[in-house]
Amino acid sequence: MYSEKQYAKLVLEDGSVFQGNFFGSEKTVNGEVVFNTGMLGYPESLTDPSYRGQILVLTYPLIGNYGIPAYDKEDGLFKYFESEKIQVQGLIVTDYSENYSHWNAKKSLSDWMVENNTPGIYGIDTRELTKKLRKKGSLLGKILYNDEKIHFEDPNKRNLVAEVSIKKPIIYKKGKKKVVLIDCGTKNNIIRAFLKRNFTVIRVPWDFDFLDEKADGIIISNGPGDPKKCNETIKNVKKTLTKNIPILGICLGSQILGLAAGASTYKLKFGHRGHNQPCIEVGTNRCYITSQNHGYAVDSDTLPEDWREWFYNNNDETNEGIKHFSKPFFGTQFHPEASPGPDDTEFLFDMFIRSMK
């Protein structure tokens, strides 16, 4: 439970101070403050490893009203979460609902956050905060408990992928066809997407030399932070590009694929995080509404001649996908697996599977 009397502060590196009340764990943390425009899906978002090192602001005003589901497992994975634990540094909301109601709810959001030692603040004007982040860009911040003093820390200077990736390979057995999943902070639903298509998934650490694995395809997962920190992954993917093994990069994986191909990446002003990002497929009039969570992007102007831009964002025209002209190499900046968000682009998994011989 949260206490109405326990005040908390969110302090930003530009000197701004937002005051509210604690829920979840009462502690001091720091991180990069980012916002998500999704209306639901907080259990999935909070467990998404791409949020490692970040304090998440949810723009939808009422959070917690449907509680937290059970820790049920299927195929060795949590059914309702995207990883084994909460990944965000902290959570900022306008109104926290202590009373929850859902057929599958087992506990409150606050109790779950206490279990994961994660602080939250409610009573913040998230509209004002989001406008500041859109104007100035993502800012470093800290949640303060009892006015403790800590320094601002930029999590993007760390190798966040190494922090969230598994340490040794895990095999999820299904069918005869196999895919290697490079775990840069993968969401569980990427694994589920291939298991339900009867593929065996060989999940390997971010720096694992997977070239000796006999697989029909390679997936480079989503993950947190600056893709340029993933030197070992980039090196291994670059070697794989000399072969004709189909490759699919998702989110950070698309950025790593671009870097391995010879393109450049850069940090976006405030990133794309939400379930309603419109993406245009180049050469068509077709727009897909996509789920996204990223702060970096491929510079499409730096793509080599044998690569082309596949999708772009209809809001700011930044790159949302890359594709090789003749080989089965694909990258999507958005999340075809959704969870949370729309699954309109899940067909891309089937397209990738068709490219496997």
Distance, in Å, from the CA atom of 20 to the CA atom of 1, rounded to the nearest integer, reads 15
Distant-in-sequence, close-in-space partners of 228: CB < 8 Å, separation ≥ 6 = 259, 265
Distance, in Å, from the CA atom of 231 to the CA atom of 259, rounded to the nearest integer, reads 10
Distance, in Å, from the CA atom of 183 to the CA atom of 204, rounded to the nearest integer, reads 6
Count each helix (H run) and each strand (E run) in the chain, helices first.
8, 23
Q: Can 294 be counted among the known catalytic residues? A: no
Distance, in Å, from the CA atom of 227 to the CA atom of 333, rounded to the nearest integer, reads 12
Task: Give first-to-last CA distance, the chain, whole Å.
Answer: 54
Specify burial of residue 302 (Cβ count, 10 A radius: 0-12, 13-18, 19+). Answer: middle
Q: Can 337 be counted among the known catalytic residues? A: yes
Q: What is the token pair recorded at 145?
A: 């408990």
Q: What is the token pair recorded at 300?
A: 């499409």
Q: Can 324 be counted among the known catalytic residues? A: no
- Which one of the listed residues 32, 251, 272, 294 is annotated catalytic? 251
Distance, in Å, from the CA atom of 123 to the CA atom of 48, rounded to the nearest integer, reads 24
Q: Print the SS3 string covering 58-105.
A: ECCCEECCCCEECCCEECCEECCCCCCCCCCCEEECCEECCCCCCCCE
The Cβ-side half-sphere exposure at 261, using a 13 Å CA radius, reads 31
Cis peptide before 342 (omega within 30 of 0): no
- Which one of the listed residues 272, 275, 324, 335 is annotated catalytic? 335
Distance, in Å, from the CA atom of 320 to the CA atom of 340, rounded to the nearest integer, reads 18
Kindly list the catalytic residues. 251, 335, 337
